[in-house]
Amino acid sequence: MLPVKNLKNMTMKKLSIIFCAILLAIANGCSDEFLDVQPKAALSGTALQNSKGVNSLLIGAYSLLDGWATPEGAYRSYQVGADNWVYGSVASDDAYKGTIAGDQPPISLIEQHNIAADNIYFRGKWRGMYDGIARVNDVLQILPKVTDMTDAEKAQVVAEAKFLRGHYHFELKKMFNNVPYIDEVVYDPNNLESTKLTNTEDIWPKIEADLQAAYDVLPTTQAAKGRATKWAAGATLAKAFLFQKKYGQAKTILEAIVASNQYRLVDRYHDNFRASTNNNAESIFEVQYSVNDGAPGGENGNIGSTLNYPYGGGGVTTCCGFFQPSQNLVNAFKTGADGLPLLDNFNASDVTSDQGIEATAPFTPYSGTLDPRVDWTVGRRGIPFLDWGVHPGKTYVRDQAYGGPYSPKKHVMYRSDVGTNTFAGNPRLNANNYRMIRYSHVLLWLAEIAVEEGNLDVARGYVNQIRARAANPAGFVLKSDGTPAANYLINTYTTPWPDQATARKAVQFEQRLEFAMEGHRRFDLVRWGIAASTLNAYFQAEGNKRAYLKGVTFTPGKHEYFPIPLQEILNSQKNGAPTLTQNPGYN
């Protein structure tokens, strides 16, 4: 089988017609008109009833991992990016929307928790994930009619498809909670109302069943990069268990991943965030991106992140200034004299920034001690910005007064990538994969489980593996003279944690530092049950820095989940009544 990224362009060219015409997307399909008008011409379904056709359909299902299907609808790529930068980071305490107030106002509304069911971003995410589910179900419906594949080959296709279907439903579950589960049995291509289901059933058991089926069948390795493995399915299933606090079931799988000896922490933290080290020894599952492969408009690159670059200044790009790290996040990387995080008072004072200081005026960066991961996560003045030279400050920021002084960094291409790992027509489309699950996730999830089981020293050992890697001087950001770019000081925890509450706080804090700006933060806060307390404290402090956050409140019982998109409720009508019910607290 070919690698996912090598097949993706081929399938996107061919399948954009197939999916919109005959293979039928769920609920909203490829256009609203499709709900009412039968296709007049389409590729015969029998043309796909062979191994080549099935494999092409499966790659089409993989291609929706980045959410991008067709250019239908304004800004859909930004709404569905695999890294969930809007929903997991901007809607948390990790990042501001950035740029200027008037650009992409639907994101501003989400950031300010002025959240409404008609926000176009929610509908984009909903449709992107259900499009992926539709493609999976197409595979599973056609596969029994295929005669040129062995039973073993079919079993692997089923397992990969179920992994993807489990993932897509998982994304919907953590976003909206109350969502319908749609499989190939429910979906009837001769009945366009077959997918108009209620959303009152808890779909966790069905997500688990799909992921378990994949885990039981998939091989531990795949020759084709980007295809799901046993361990990718297992880690995703363990994550689903963690969301439900099923610690014992998650632990069994995570320990099996460790025991496989197939993965390790790479020596340098930042090798998880550059195209030249895609699919490294730490990666359990990555969303594959590619450029200059013939895809129109470079759409196989990381299209969901194309807004999220420094704005100007003669450096990386001239657009667009979104997704700026928060001051709260930068403060979280401060360390004490012992090289440990300031768990309780990290936000009592700010890391020095160049807020309000012109790029031509003198500026001295923060001299206090910092965790070195800060400068692989955040672009800040006076510190080298990858290999683009020293971050100049204000000239890299579209509106400092609105979005703050910092720039995003993890997904940004290196200067040395330009022309090879960047799209010729737009360098902001690059081939830096999104590492959806890394081995560091496995270790910190095991630490989380150990805390809940009362094994605090075991938890500390897992956390120390993460911190020891971060402390590797070979992974520090360096000045041009080879010296560290800042006063980096990071150590492991040598003293036992005194109690479970302290241990829990330390493990959760470590997850924030390790995965900052990667789209996980809000979902973690919700599943830990600390979203309201954490985010309300954040808004109270940040309201003094960003005027638009003053008075913002996270409402418990409502804001843990986003609203079911209004248009989807309207579209769900069957026999004169909607089948979808709105989430609590939303109109």
Per-residue pLDDT tens digits for 536-560 = 999 999 999 999 999 999 999 999 9
> Angle 264-325-106 (CA atoms, 0-180°, nearest 5)?
115
Q: Does an H or E element contain 465, and which?
A: helix 456-470
Region(s) of the chain under CATH 1.25.40.390: 4-250+560-578, 296-300+319-516
Between 477 and 19, whose confidence is greater? 477
Position 545: which residue type? K
As a whole number, mean pLDDT of residues 481-487 equals 97
Spatial separation of the C-alpha atoms in residues 96 and 327, rounded to whole Å: 9
CB-based contact 582:569 (threshold 8 Å):
yes
Q: At what angle do helices 439-452 and 500-514 cross, to 10 degrees?
A: 170
As a whole number of Å, the end-to-end CA separation of the chain is 48
Q: Tens digits of per-residue pLDDT, 388-440? A: 999 999 999 999 999 999 999 999 999 999 999 999 989 999 999 999 999 99
Q: What is the pLDDT of residue 70?
A: 57
As a whole number, mean pLDDT of residues 277-299 equals 94
Q: What is the pLDDT of residue 78?
A: 86
Could you tell me the two tokens for 462? 């897992």
Beta strands in 413-528, from DSSP E residues, in sequence order: 422-423, 426-430, 434-438
CB-based contact 404:96 (threshold 8 Å):
yes
Spatial separation of the C-alpha atoms in residues 579 and 575, rounded to whole Å: 9
Q: What is the pLDDT of residue 373?
A: 98
406 backbone φψ class: left, alpha, beta (φ>0; ψ -120 to 50): beta
Where is average pLDDT lowest: 14-28, 246-260, 359-373, 464-478? 14-28
Burial pattern 37-53, b for ≥16 Cβ within 10 A else e, equals: eeeeeeeebeebbbbeb
Residue 338: which residues within 8 A CB-CB, separation 6 or more? 491
As a whole number, mean pLDDT of residues 322-333 equals 98
Sign of CA dihedral 371, 376, 380, 381: positive
Q: pLDDT tier at 298 (50, 70, 90 boundaries)?
A: confident
Residue 309 exposed, middle or buried by CB count within 10 Å (0-12, 13-18, 19+): buried
Q: What is the pLDDT of residue 480?
A: 95
CATH number of 4-250+560-578: 1.25.40.390
As a whole number, mean pLDDT of residues 287-311 equals 91
Q: pLDDT tier at 47 (50, 70, 90 boundaries)?
A: confident
Q: At what angle do helices 439-452 and 230-243 cross, to 10 degrees?
A: 40
CB-based contact 221:263 (threshold 8 Å):
no
Spatial separation of the C-alpha atoms in residues 539 and 311, rounded to whole Å: 26
Residue 102: which residues within 8 A CB-CB, separation 6 or more? none
426: three-class secondary structure by DSSP: strand
Q: Tens digits of per-residue pLDDT, 123-153? A: 999 999 999 999 999 999 999 999 999 999 9
296-300+319-516 under CATH 1.20.1250.20, yes or no: no
Q: What is the pLDDT of residue 394?
A: 95
pLDDT at 304 over 80: yes
29: three-class secondary structure by DSSP: coil
As a whole number, mean pLDDT of residues 186-203 equals 92
Where is average pLDDT lowest: 64-73, 315-324, 561-570? 64-73
List the one residue out of 433, 495, 484, 432 whose CA is nearest residue 460. Answer: 495
CB-based contact 293:5 (threshold 8 Å):
yes
List the one residue out of 483, 477, 491, 441 whose CA is nearest residue 462. Answer: 441
Q: Give the global pTM.
A: 0.92
DSSP state of 278: T
List the one residue out of 540, 547, 539 whose CA is nearest residue 401. Answer: 547
Percent of the chain with pLDDT over 70: 91
DSSP state letters, 222-245? -SSTTS--HHHHHHHHHHHHHHTT
Could you tell me the two tokens for 461? 């050992």
Spatial separation of the C-alpha atoms in residues 512 and 518, rounded to whole Å: 10
CB-based contact 525:516 (threshold 8 Å):
no
Q: What is the pLDDT of residue 314?
A: 72
Q: pLDDT tier at 17 (50, 70, 90 boundaries)?
A: very low
Q: What is the pLDDT of residue 154?
A: 98
**Beta-strand pair 322-325/95-98:** antiparallel
pLDDT at 40 over 50: no
Q: What is the pLDDT of residue 22?
A: 33
Position 435: which residue type? R
Residue 16 exposed, middle or buried by CB count within 10 Å (0-12, 13-18, 19+): middle
CA 59 to mean position of chain CA atoms: 20
Spatial separation of the C-alpha atoms in residues 580 and 566, rounded to whole Å: 10
The C-alpha R_g of the chain, in whole angstroms, comes to: 23
Q: What is the pLDDT of residue 398?
A: 95
CA 412 to mean position of chain CA atoms: 15
CB atoms within 10 A of CB 231: 26
3-state secondary structure 502-550: HHHHHHHHHHHHHCCCCCCHHHHHHHHCCHHHHHHHHHHHHCCCCHHHC
Q: pLDDT tier at 3 (50, 70, 90 boundaries)?
A: low
Spatial separation of the C-alpha atoms in residues 13 and 10, rounded to whole Å: 6
Q: pLDDT tier at 584 (50, 70, 90 boundaries)?
A: very high
Spatial separation of the C-alpha atoms in residues 339 and 318, rounded to whole Å: 37
pLDDT at 24 over 50: no
Q: Tens digits of per-residue pLDDT, 169-188? A: 999 999 999 999 999 999 88
Q: What is the pLDDT of residue 31?
A: 36
CB-based contact 282:265 (threshold 8 Å):
yes
Percent of the chain with pLDDT over 90: 86
Express the helix, strand and coil content of the chain in percent, nearest 5 each.
45, 5, 50
DSSP state letters, 4-61? HHHHHHHHHHHHHHHHHHTS--STTTT-GGGGTS--S----GGGG-SHHHHHHHHHHH
Q: What average pLDDT does the structure give for the chain?
A: 91
Could you tell me the two tokens for 124? 């984009």
Q: Tens digits of per-residue pLDDT, 236-264? A: 999 999 999 999 999 999 999 999 999 99
